[in-house]
Amino acid sequence: MSTIAQTQEAKLLTDAQAFYDATFDAETLALLDQAADGDDAAWDALNAMTYNVTQEVTHYVTLAGGGPAARLAVTVNDDGDVENAWLEYQDWLTPWTRAPKQDRETVKRLATIFAPFED
């Protein structure tokens, strides 16, 4: 990894942590406790903090286990039909990583073999 990429990654991690710290500050933690105790005003205050709520379910189809491992990550619509799919790879002690040069339509065709997926 280049020095520039390392610097960018370090900044991203720092920014993410700063956002986390600002989000889960003492005031938010107190509101969480109050909402858990049934305080509707606290719940309303927490709810007002949200920008948007979405749900995306990802199903995983394991193609190879152990190290290295590979899987398909598959998102589906409400009917369980494949909307998107991509291949991810992982070796020991490394994060799941998307293969950078994928023919998404071909991967989606393979994922469709396993459809419909159910939540």
What is the token pair recorded at 27?
Answer: 């005031």
Tens of pLDDT along the chain (119 residues) come to 678 878 888 888 888 888 888 888 999 999 999 999 999 999 999 988 888 777 778 999 999 988 789 999 999 888 878 899 999 999 888 889 998 889 889 999 999 988 667 75
The Cα–Cα gap between 119 and 80 comes to: 8
| Cβ neighbours around 107 below 10 Å, total | 19
Rounded to the nearest angstrom, the gap between the alpha carbon of residue 106 and the centroid of all alpha carbons in its chain is 23
Output the pTM of the full model.
Answer: 0.59
